[in-house]
Structure 1
Amino acid sequence: MTVPHGTPDAPRISVRGEAHLEVDPEIARIGVTVASRGKDRRTALDDLTRRNTAALDLLKSYGDAVEHLETGSFSVTPELKEHGRGERVHAYHGRVHLTAELTDFTALGELTTRLADLDLTRVDGPFWALRRDSPAYREARQQAVREAVQRAREYAEALGTTLVALIELTDTGDFAAEGSRPQFAAGPRMRSRAAYAEDTAAAPLDLEPQRQHVHAQVDARFTMAPPRL
């Protein structure tokens, strides 16, 4: 029969171990929204297709620096006139959302700047993060366990005794905080062809990776040799 609180011959001790690490991010995600607007559906769709291709070609030109690229939502929506009888369409709005994941942070500032310089293109991010299998999580868990054992030993030593056995170890969770706050955002731009001829390339953004805070926590129960009180 299990005795939940121990016995005088086998007293139990329950402790909590915690770990807090601050590490560099491993990936950066950016969201790219390409838009178009036309008096008719075909014009809006053609412009959207052209701008989407330009954004994809630019992202793919960075090769292995862009580890993951995917297309999310796509829409072409009619805008109805506010006044007048019937459902008369004033214009059509197109929109495509892309998500890119980068591991080469040296290319990130240049890429986000060049994307934001495209026509009717919005860039959100970067969103700094760790990989799901990051070694930082394992290190945090191990540190939390070591702290639990050390804390239990210190309590046992205070009673003039030693630990005998581990009864239970419970993982109460680990996570990375402060990894989702965007550090950069640029809204859509619309410029004339004459303006393009006069413009020079925008200077790359200087982006500082946001440190990730990894937390881990365990609960542990041990038995001790009977102390002499």
Structure 2
Amino acid sequence: MATDGPVVQVRGEAYREVPPELARFAVTATARDRDREATLTRLAERAAAVRVLLDGSGPTVARRETGDLRVRPETRRSGERVVAWHGSVTTTVTVTDFTALGELMLRLADQDQVEVAGPWWELRPDSPAHREARHAAIGDALLRAREYAEALGARVTALIELADAGPADRPMFARAAFAGGGAGGGAPELELDPQPQTVQAAVQARFTISAPVLD
């Protein structure tokens, strides 16, 4: 694109740390038995117990997704003779109420042959924090252009080009694992500290400036 007069090119950046909006964790129910049908029956019962607890959590659970169902035979090293069957099913749970998160995770971990891992802290894909960071990056680019122009005794006159140049945001996470054993009794209290999320944005911008004063 042809332009009249001098041009300044700058990079604008913004970096923010904001509280997370979502927490995800995984609940895995397992079963093992020499008999395949017994393994499947136990696995179904334990998965159902997990569902009952999640059903009773009310609005604490915003979303849950069941996947990663595995059933596999255990064989002897020398041959294909099956000595046991292993089964597992994992449910990913999304929570927005962090005050009840620790209690819910420990209640799930207190179930027989259930493992809980997480949480992973995130922002919503449409979080206002992303928009605010992009706006701040544009403001930073304009400020830098004006500073360069001022140093030359000039002023910014027009925007020629603006392009996004920021890296993708990376969710922060903390991982903990709890293996349930059905010990009975009330689950202990667990307080979790939500990890701040890093939001970054960067732009490349080109501006025309008035004639510099170089005297």
Aligned residues: 214
Give the letter for the 1:81 counterpart: R
**Rounded Cα–Cα distance in structure 1 between residues aligned with 2:196 and 2:16:** 10
What root-mean-square deviation, in Å, do the aligned CA atoms of Structure 1 and Structure 2 show? Answer: 1.5
Kindly indicate whether residue 181 of structure 2 is the aligned counterpart of residue 181 of structure 1.
no
Residue aligning to 2:210: 225
In structure 1, the gaps of 5 or more residues are none
Q: CA contact under 8 A between 1:174 and 1:214: conserved in structure 2?
A: no
**Rounded Cα–Cα distance in structure 2 between residues aligned with 1:142 and 1:203:** 44
1:67-146 matches, cutoff 5 A: 67-82=62-77, 87-146=80-139
**Rounded Cα–Cα distance in structure 1 between residues aligned with 2:209 and 2:136:** 22
Deviations 1:143-177 (A, max 9, x none): 00001001101111111111110000010125333
Give the letter for the 1:74 counterpart: L
**Rounded Cα–Cα distance in structure 2 between residues aligned with 1:108 and 1:174:** 30
* TM-score, with structure 1 as normaliser: 0.89
Secondary structure, in 3 states, of the residue corresponding to 1:57? helix
**Rounded Cα–Cα distance in structure 1 between residues aligned with 2:125 and 2:189:** 29
Identity %: 49
**Rounded Cα–Cα distance in structure 2 between residues aligned with 1:138 and 1:170:** 15
**Rounded Cα–Cα distance in structure 1 between residues aligned with 2:142 and 2:205:** 8
Kindly indicate whether residue 149 of structure 2 is the aligned counterpart of residue 156 of structure 1.
yes
Residue aligning to 2:47: 52
Q: CA contact under 8 A between 2:172 and 2:196: conserved in structure 1?
A: no
Secondary structure, in 3 states, of the residue corresponding to 1:173? coil
Q: CA contact under 8 A between 1:137 and 1:174: conserved in structure 2?
A: no
Secondary structure, in 3 states, of the residue corresponding to 1:175? coil
Residue aligning to 2:14: 19
Residue aligning to 1:35: 30
Give the letter for the 1:102 counterpart: V
* TM-score, with structure 2 as normaliser: 0.94
